[in-house]
Structure formats: structure tokens, C-alpha cells
Amino acid sequence: MLVAMTCFPSCMIHRTMIRSVIVTAGFALCAPAAARTESARRGNTVRLTTEMLRDKIKGGWAGQTIGVTFGGPTEFRYRGTMIEDYTPIAWYDGLLKESFEKSPGLYDDIYVDLTFVNVVEKHGFDAPAEQFAEAFAHAGYQLWHANQMARYNILRGMKPPASGNWRNNPDADDIDFEIESDFIGLMSPGMPNTASDIADRVGHIMNSGDGWYGGVYIATMYSLAFISSDVNYVVREGLKAIPVGTRFYQTISAAIDLHKQYPDDWKRAWFEIQKRWAEDVGCADGVFAAFNIDARLNAAYVVLGLLYGQGDMTRTISIATRAGQDSDCNPSSAAGILGAIIGYSKIPTFWKQGLSEVEPIAFQHAGLSLNDAYDLTFKHALDLIRRNGGQVSDGNVVLPMQPVRAVRVEQNFEGLFPNAALPLHRRLSDETTFSFEGIGFTVQGSARSENTKDQVIVVDMYIDDRMVETIELPTNFTRRRFTPFWRYGLTDAKHTVRVKIRNPSADTDVSMERVIIYGSKPLRPAV
């Protein structure tokens, strides 16, 4: 979910065919046929060899790494449109190493997961949400959207679940937890409810509502990948973890139905999803804009990759990427789930080229490498199997299968409807005001310093001449408040907002770019 545009040299996209193979929508390079069932069912249990279990865990981590690296050059460059068939996306021996060295921030899909893996290793499965939150907030890596807003909240003493609640985190419906829940499913083989319980603690650090559901769904599919080699089953059964009638359930259910209706045309399914499910409400960057980092829509793209890929790694990765938007995170999720289904040993050699070079390399600020992730997740999976009544003995494991149960209903931004976008383009150095009519607003912008010194700009926010909040805006990138100003739940009337800096400085200011205005009713233009 690296949103700041990753810098990839153009030569990384257009390599000569001598050094690389260009993967196009023709999918000329085919993976092996769909994986065979690798488990022996015994009533309500599934038996695997420990070698199979480790292989599937490795496949999940490796698939994530491959998918995010492949999609990196296209991330958020295709907003509200597909990546056309004739657009080449390169994959070659050496790309993984180049990406690890030149674009470490690309791997937020993995390094946030690994922070939580470390917490489990040090403090156990029962570590409270606050322990996960502290490790996450104090890690040195870069974050965006719901993750960064949660970090800001936690550093100022707000604990989960408040740190991820939409009233305190305008990006709460975003993809963040969806792309960092993989570790939960990988250490909960065949135990989706155990995965959901852990997801409840971890996911509410940075998300709530649909953003939380995205992580629950991904973790559930990973868990089911250990007990079935049928991609269709994993996708459909995984959705049972989401309450029927919620927006997330409706969006993914629509993607599944569209695959049934148009089994050979993923692009038709993509268009139908766009028509009905592409609207964003909470994330200011995606309201009245083509940009969409919403968990629902991007999870639907993951589902398209899995269902239309049908066990073929090349098709799965390519479709999940070519659907656009967060087109590095989506193939990472899809390839990770498929990697867990088929196992590391069955990931085609084409996709594993260069992987062995990066497996020993620690991800930035996480302190763990892929090799560490393989070993620790295998260890944690064995412990969870025993803990839940399964068996580990003589090179075999018996997984205690759990029927998927739905988590609780949780919906964000209900009763809030985007009505207008007010351009500001102001540099706040002292104070400014703006007026609007509605029940809420969100301001896009950031605190800036002209020198390299980290500073904190302190701002008082007034609404209708009443001071409602004193806000600290760090200029430091890793400690910043991702969304500087917002307020929901106002009376439906005309309001005036005034923001005034308490500690003005000649070398700092606050960029205020655009205000999203929310009303109590949806805006329906006459034409």
C-alpha cells in the first residue's frame, strides 16, 4: 500500500527479452495445473505432514513477496481503469533484489506483518492489543493512510480499538489491515475462528468496519488454504466470516456472482463491480476522485485474481494487478493465498527466480527476513494447532478444523454522504477560515518544515466560534497526522471552521489542499 509514487527506473518496466519475460494478459507463461488436494480428511480434522505444513506457510509468504514486487511499478498509476493487455509488466531474475535495495518502502505488505509476528514470538498469542499497537507505532518504517493515522493516535496515548475507529481515523475503511493480516491466517491453519479472534485485536489498531473486514476475510482465506486446494471453495467459504448484509459482504458476494455469470470474462466482471461498488466515503483522497484504496473494492480485485486465475499463478497475479488501483497489494494478497494453497514447492520456477537471494535479507525496521518468517510462522502454527486440540507427532499434524463463523456487524460512516469538494490550496502560517453547509468535513493536507528539523505545529480548531480541539501536527514524516483536520456529527446547517496556529514559525506551515463536505443525504445531481 505504498501510496507515495515508488521510483522505478523505466528500464525496470521495459527490459529486453534477453534478460526478462514480459507478462501480458495473454498469460502465455502458464503455471502447473490446479493443485491437487494435499490433505487427508478425517471427520472434523485434516491431516498434513509437517513438511506439507511448512511448504504451505512458505508458499504464502513467498507469494506475497512475489506479488507485491511484480505489481510495484503499477501501484496507483491506474485509477479507475484496467491495465491494458498490451501494457507489459516485467518479471526477471534480479528484480526482487533490485526492489529490496532500491524501494524498501514497497514492502509495507510484509514488514508490518513481521512486526506482529515478533510480538507473538516475544509475548505469546494472548498479547493484548496494546502490545501489538506499541510495537507497530514505534517501528521506524514509513506508513500511510489508516496505518499512519493509527500510529499518530497511539503515540498520543489513544489505545485500540479507538485508534482505528472511524471517528478518530478517517481512513478506517482503507486497505491497511487487509494487507497485513496474512500472518494471522498463516499461523492458524484450518482454524478460521482462531484467526478472527486474533484479527479482532490486531485489526482494530488501524481499522474498523470494512477496513477490519478486509483483514478478517484475507486471514480466513489463508486459514482455509491449508484444508482445500479448491480456490472457489476458499473464496466462498471465507466470505462466511463477514456478516451478511454489510457493504463488504455485498461487494465480495457480487464479485463471486459475477464470476459465475461471466466465467470467461474477468473484464466484464470488473466493469460491473466498478458500476456498483467503487464509491468511497471516508478516505478523502478517494472522494470525488478516481483514487480508491478502500478495502472492499481492492478485496474484490483479489477475488477476481483468485477466481479467474483458477490455481494458475501467472493468471492470478496478472489479473489482480491489471485490475488497477492498489495493484501491488492486491496481487500480493492473491498470490499469497494461492501460494498457501499450492505450497512453495509448486510455485512455478519462473516466479521464484531471484527469491533465494532475498530470503535472508531483513525487511527494513522489522528485524526479520523471509527465512525468519518461514520458521517463526511454522513454529507458531504448531503451537496454535496444539492449543486448539490438534495433534503434532511423528512428522504429521492433525488440524482441528473449525466451521467459519461470522464476526460482529460493524459499519463506518453511516449517515454521512459526500456532497462537495471545496478547493483551498492554502499555506496556513497563522490562521484561516472556511465555511460549508453540512454535517461534517475532512481536510486534506500536511504539516511542513522548510528545514530538516522536526517540529510540531500546534493548532486550535474552532467550529462556529467554539474551540473544539487542539491538534499537534508533527512535520516528521513517520510521526505525522495523516489527515490534519476533520469533524463528523455536526448539526445539518451552515458552519464556519477557523484554524489558528499557536506557535507560528517562519519556517513551518500547514498545507490545506481540499475540504470534503458531508451531508445527511446523498447528493443526486439533476443530470
- Do 435 and 302 sit in the same domain of this protein? no
- Do 291 and 428 sit in the same domain of this protein? no
CATH, residue 430: 2.60.120.230
Residue 253 near residue 427, CB atoms below 8 Å: no
Query: Would you place residue 23 in the very low, low, confident or very high pLDDT band (cuts 50, 70, 90)?
Result: low
- Do 393 and 453 sit in the same domain of this protein? no
Instruction: Tell me if 2 is assigned to some domain.
Output: no
Give the chain's domain count: 2
Query: Would you place residue 53 in the very low, low, confident or very high pLDDT band (cuts 50, 70, 90)?
Result: very high
Query: Would you place residue 24 in the very low, low, confident or very high pLDDT band (cuts 50, 70, 90)?
Result: low
Over residues 267-325, the pLDDT tens digits come to 999 999 999 999 999 999 999 999 999 999 999 999 999 999 999 999 999 999 999 99
Q: Cell 469538494 maps to which residue? A: 421
Over residues 63-108, the pLDDT tens digits come to 999 999 999 999 999 999 999 999 999 999 999 999 999 999 999 9
- Do 455 and 338 sit in the same domain of this protein? no
- Do 327 and 425 sit in the same domain of this protein? no
Over residues 325-382, the pLDDT tens digits come to 999 999 999 999 999 999 999 999 999 999 999 999 999 899 999 999 999 999 999 9
**By C-alpha distance, which of 259, 290, 281, 282 is closest to 272?**
259
What are the helix (H) ranges across 310-412?
A: 313-322, 329-342, 349-352, 355-358, 370-387
Residue 129 near residue 204, CB atoms below 8 Å: yes
Residue 340 near residue 226, CB atoms below 8 Å: yes
Instruction: Tell me if 526 is assigned to some domain.
Output: no
Side chain identity at residue 354, one-letter code: G
C-alpha span between 430 and 241 (Å, rounded) = 49
**Range 263-266, long-range pairs (CB < 8 A, 24+ positions):** 266/304, 266/308, 266/319
C-alpha span between 284 and 515 (Å, rounded) = 8
Q: Which residues pair with 337 in a beta bridge?
A: none
**By C-alpha distance, which of 122, 171, 232 is closest to 444?**
171
- Do 55 and 97 sit in the same domain of this protein? yes
Q: How far is CA 262 from CA 140, 153, 231, 379, in A?
A: 45, 44, 17, 42
486 DSSP 8-state letter: E
- Do 379 and 424 sit in the same domain of this protein? no
Q: How far is CA 50 from CA 34, 35, 371, 385, 390, in A?
A: 22, 18, 17, 12, 13
pLDDT of the residue at 42: 45
**By C-alpha distance, which of 304, 326, 347, 300 is closest to 61?**
347
CATH, residue 141: 1.10.4080.10
- Do 358 and 454 sit in the same domain of this protein? no
Q: What is the mean pLDDT of residues 45-51?
A: 94
Q: 450: domain range? A: 417-519
Over residues 184-238, the pLDDT tens digits come to 999 999 999 999 999 999 999 999 999 999 999 999 999 999 999 999 999 999 9
